[in-house]
Structure 1
Amino acid sequence: MASPNTAPGTGTGSASGHPDNAPGHAGSPFAYAPAPESRSVVDIAPSYGLFVDGEFTEAAGGKVFKTVAPATEEVLSEVAQAGEEDVDRAVRAARKAFEKWSALPGSARAKYLFRIARIIQERSRELAVLETLDNGKPIKETRDFDVPQAAAHFFYHAGWADKLAHAGLGPDPRPLGVAAQVIPWNFPLLMLAWKIAPALATGNTVVLKPAETTPLSALFFADVCRQAGLPKGVVNILTGDGSTGAALVSHPDVDKVAFTGSTEVGKAIARQVAGTRKKVTLELGGKGANIVFDDAPIDQAVEGIVTGIFFNQGQVCCAGSRLLVQESVADELIDALKRRLTTLRLGDPLDKNTDIGAINSAQQLAKIRELTGIGEAEGAERWSPECELPSSGYWFAPTLFTGVAQAHTVAQEEIFGPVLSVLTFRTPDEAVAKANNTPYGLSAGVWTEKGSRILAVADRLRAGVVWANTFNKFDPTSPFGGYKESGYGREGGRHGLEAYLDV
């Protein structure tokens, strides 16, 4: 694995050896040169207020907190901490705006969503750099996935805005009112789009709280809303910690709650809104199984495994964090996977060659270290490619655990980091039983050349989305959500509209 502390193009190799013709290896004539994206393309203000009723304003209590760059621990900006008074002010602004917004024809609302989508595209370079700085993920992921997908969600839902009566949700579906939306730090801009686009398309107004560690792209989006001419109060953004989210969810004038985040917080929200009239969707944790049968194309499967667990440093709720391999090909696949991991490049997230960026926060890094330590103590065999980590920032090398049993902590608990647990199976029945032996049920993958096996296995997996011979592929037209402790409700597609409508 190439190290950020070595000269560009000089990988440190690994215990299993580094192929001489691998990109970036010291002996390769095709060594990578530095390819940094300039951070000067985006202006970050020294401080930000709350976005309420179309204007930026200070928090009533005057409290602020700092947001830092995970790759360097540099303070990026100071952000307002919303309290209960600010939450009430934002909800009142959204309630007032709802009267006119919901009365607009769907075609008129669609125009605003189209404008927002186009502005996201036009300002994509700014957004990609900002997201990488604030989150720590590689620029090639924010540039090629996060920002394009965010724009696609607004384009897609703009198309639905004047067709709701034809969505199969009744002849006259009506918006619910004010939507309280709380999003996580792993995909700040994309989760914002997943939440706001369907809410606006269906005629609701929004109060959104971004994660405490990644507020900047949501505040950037507030400026996008103003640039698009969105009426005041239709979108309000409150920055803050967990207390801000709790106050927003519990506000009596909120009609809809949408939350993406940890299962623990999701359970607390479910208890909090139980017995109220609020409609709720929860998209929570996961421990996705990636199942590789003996007839699968090994090289293709390895690429899918890497995408499944090391995309966004494994900080993905639907990550393929459990690899289930048929015994007869386990050694071959694991050897190929280890060779592939030696070619991944860890380092500056703003470098376009970087594959593995920084962990989002010190707290998350501590959790990953704790759980991987438990994995070793329980007897699983740990392996990582040789890698020199930067001296500042929050970093964790890609890690494999082999010899993993079903009862091991690394096979049961969501680590939310670049850590893959490898288990083996002999028969399809055993693969399904092991895949379903988890409290979660968000995602799964099946690798085989037989279409009949894909359908037979997928039908028995208790997961909200099952990928066949691929992993982590998303589209705004396809619904996403989970079973069991991965939550309930769907986001995206026609099914996701229902969560924002009185049908």
Structure 2
Amino acid sequence: MDETKIAQLRNQSIPPARHFIDGAQVSASDGGTMPVTSPIDGAELTTLARGTHKDADRAIAAARGAFDDGRWSGLAPAARKKILLAWASLIEAHALELAVLGVRDNGTEIGMAFKAEPLSAAGTIRFYAEACDKIFGEIAPTSPGALGLVHKQPVGVVGAIVPWNFPLMIGAWKLAPALAAGCTMVMKPAETASLSLLRLAELGHEAGLPAGVFNVITGEGPVVGAALAQSHDVDALVFTGSGATGRKLMEAAARSNLKRVYLELGGKSPNIVFADAPDLNEAAKVSAAGIFRNSGQVCIAGSRLLVERSIYDSFLEKFAAQAKAMRVGDPLDPATHAGAINSESQLARNLAFVDAARAAGRRVVTGGTRILEQTGGTYMAPTIVADVTQDDPIVQNEVFGPVATVQPFDTEAEAIALANGTTLGLAAGVWTRDLSRAHRMVARLRAGVVHVNTYGGADITVPMGGMKQSGNGHDKSLHAFEKYLDLKTAWIKL
């Protein structure tokens, strides 16, 4: 990675950011703006357009027009493919620029951001571009006197609301299959991570996306996000974020046009270590990365460590050593292991969970404090809270920070009960040498993805989705198309 180029990019001034609507940069209808504060050092980077309901309506109208007149949905899939592939290539050409811009905005360490943001987004767009001319309809096995044809058609205008931790990666999970299917989109980024998605939209227009096909509008969730959910011209809504917001979006959809709503609402993921794990040192190292990379701001983070009692103390010591070895600091330094917490409010929330656990008599093994405050940035030490109970708030609620809880278990059945004992079910991990046990755990854990003898790591070919209150629908893989395609039957009498 070119450290000289990173240094140049980190000091570039950023002009005031505006919406990207109908192929052009557009200011808020009332001229409103909101500051963009970097979690690296607390400095104000630039301003965003503070979107209004009128702005959202304008973006929705642009997407509606672009869908209804067929400038995108009416293109041959091979033509859409060509434009999407050109977009992916442009993203790769601007990868370092996009990565640094995103890090300045949300604080993810550059080593992770470079791969997980622009390079991941480019790969995702390329995957769905290659797939879009390989979606076939069906001929039903009807009686000889009738012909039943099943057509797959784009659902229409899609509203997408994406979070601040990985805006390009998660944004691409939404936009790529939607656009490949022939839909148009209005995307609302998080208030604290909008800059890279706005730049992505510009590159899409440069690659040949027709005006109105992909629009990005910035602003506050209760205004812009609510407008998308309430609109009668949005046909589907996709969201990654908190459960509380997800419920509000579903309620708004029910009160408007009953648009389909797909939600990924986070996790409280168990990571289960049996005494017969193949390599306990490797398990400790990977488990630490699984919760402390990106300062724990990862939806599938293995935030609940469950350890078989016979190895509890020794494994906790190994795990704590890995946490203490994590280098937290400037996210634009390639040597940094974990960057900044996204915002002051998120940092305060993280610390409040730890303070409550400490007050309840739980053991804070390491961390639990703000660090590097002199930089002006928002940094937190990797934190381990041991000897917690299942009903502790820090066990039951998603913290979304570098905070791991640790609990012992005695039997496989107890491990499953503890693992499944929250309302969320996004991911899980199992460490064991016993192949039969591994299969039993995969079958019985209520989670959308179960890692075995690893934690994290998957590619675009496999689906990502949750069980229980972690949401519905799937990002990634060919299954993602299911959210953006309608089935239409043609029944023809012969």
Q: TM-score, normalised by structure 2?
A: 0.92
Corresponding position: 1:469 with 2:456 = no
Return the letter of the residue paired with 1:46.
Answer: P
Is the 8 Å Cα contact of residues 108 and 339 (structure 2) preserved in structure 1? yes
The number of equivalent residue pairs is 470
Corresponding position: 1:287 with 2:258 = no
Q: Offset at 1:135?
A: 0.7
Query: In structure 1, how many angstroms separate the alpha carbons of the residues matched to 2:438 and 2:403?
Result: 26
Is the 8 Å Cα contact of residues 304 and 469 (structure 1) preserved in structure 2? no
Is the 8 Å Cα contact of residues 99 and 110 (structure 2) preserved in structure 1? yes
Structure 2 gaps of 5+ residues are 141-148, 488-494
Aligned to 1:273: 253
Counterpart of 1:61 (choices 30, 47, 50) is 30
Query: In structure 1, how many angstroms separate the alpha carbons of the residues matched to 2:392 and 2:106?
Result: 30
Query: In structure 2, how many angstroms separate the alpha carbons of the residues matched to 1:496 and 1:316?
Result: 20
Q: Offset at 1:409?
A: 1.3
Q: Secondary structure at 1:373's aligned position in 2?
A: helix
Query: In structure 1, how many angstroms separate the alpha carbons of the residues matched to 2:475 and 2:101?
Result: 25
Q: Offset at 1:144?
A: 2.6
Query: In structure 2, how many angstroms separate the alpha carbons of the residues matched to 1:287 and 1:215?
Result: 26
Query: In structure 2, how many angstroms separate the alpha carbons of the residues matched to 1:387 and 1:271?
Result: 37
Matches within 5 A, 1:291-302: 291-296=272-277, 297-302=279-284
**Alpha carbons of structure 1 residues 463 and 492: separation in structure 2 relative to 1, 3 Å:** same
Aligned to 1:341: 323
Aligned to 1:11: none
Q: Secondary structure at 1:114's aligned position in 2?
A: helix
Q: Secondary structure at 1:280's aligned position in 2?
A: strand
Query: In structure 2, how many angstroms separate the alpha carbons of the residues matched to 1:381 and 1:198?
Result: 45
Counterpart of 1:258 (choices 238, 246, 252) is 238
Q: Offset at 1:468?
A: 1.0
Q: TM-score, normalised by structure 1?
A: 0.90
Matches within 5 A, 1:1-150: 38-41=6-9, 43-98=12-67, 99-150=70-121
Q: Offset at 1:44?
A: 4.6
Is the 8 Å Cα contact of residues 184 and 210 (structure 1) preserved in structure 2? yes
Is the 8 Å Cα contact of residues 138 and 151 (structure 2) preserved in structure 1? no
Q: Secondary structure at 1:269's aligned position in 2?
A: helix
Aligned to 2:144: none
Return the letter of the residue paired with 2:9.
Answer: V
Query: In structure 1, how many angstroms separate the alpha carbons of the residues matched to 2:159 and 2:447?
Result: 26
Counterpart of 1:205 (choices 173, 184, 194) is 184
Corresponding position: 1:484 with 2:484 = no
Aligned to 1:364: 346
Return the letter of the residue paired with 1:465.
Answer: V
Corresponding position: 1:159 with 2:130 = yes
Structure 1 gaps of 5+ residues are 1-33
Q: Offset at 1:69?
A: 0.8
Query: In structure 1, how many angstroms separate the alpha carbons of the residues matched to 2:416 and 2:254?
Result: 33
What is the CA RMSD across the aligned residues, in angstroms?
1.9
**Alpha carbons of structure 1 residues 67 and 440: separation in structure 2 relative to 1, 3 Å:** same
Is the 8 Å Cα contact of residues 476 and 493 (structure 1) preserved in structure 2? yes
Aligned to 2:170: 191
Query: In structure 2, how many angstroms separate the alpha carbons of the residues matched to 1:86 and 1:412?
Result: 38
**Alpha carbons of structure 1 residues 462 and 36: separation in structure 2 relative to 1, 3 Å:** farther
Aligned to 1:443: 427
Query: In structure 2, how many angstroms separate the alpha carbons of the residues matched to 1:423 and 1:338?
Result: 14
Query: In structure 2, how many angstroms separate the alpha carbons of the residues matched to 1:378 and 1:397?
Result: 21
Q: Secondary structure at 1:459's aligned position in 2?
A: helix
Return the letter of the residue paired with 2:269.
Answer: G
Return the letter of the residue paired with 1:124.
Answer: A
CA deviations over 1:28-75 (Å, ceiling 9, x no partner): xxxxxx967624237553202111100001111111001111010111
Q: Offset at 1:119?
A: 1.1
Query: In structure 2, how many angstroms separate the alpha carbons of the residues matched to 1:245 and 1:39?
Result: 35
Corresponding position: 1:235 with 2:235 = no
Q: Secondary structure at 2:380's aligned position in 1?
A: coil
Query: In structure 1, how many angstroms separate the alpha carbons of the residues matched to 2:120 and 2:197?
Result: 15
**Alpha carbons of structure 1 residues 168 and 89: separation in structure 2 relative to 1, 3 Å:** farther
**Alpha carbons of structure 1 residues 167 and 270: separation in structure 2 relative to 1, 3 Å:** farther
Q: Secondary structure at 1:38's aligned position in 2?
A: helix
Aligned to 2:492: none
Is the 8 Å Cα contact of residues 67 and 215 (structure 1) preserved in structure 2? no
Query: In structure 1, how many angstroms separate the alpha carbons of the residues matched to 2:137 and 2:312?
Result: 49
Query: In structure 2, how many angstroms separate the alpha carbons of the residues matched to 1:165 and 1:429?
Result: 44
Aligned to 2:491: none
**Alpha carbons of structure 1 residues 313 and 166: separation in structure 2 relative to 1, 3 Å:** farther
**Alpha carbons of structure 1 residues 475 and 431: separation in structure 2 relative to 1, 3 Å:** same
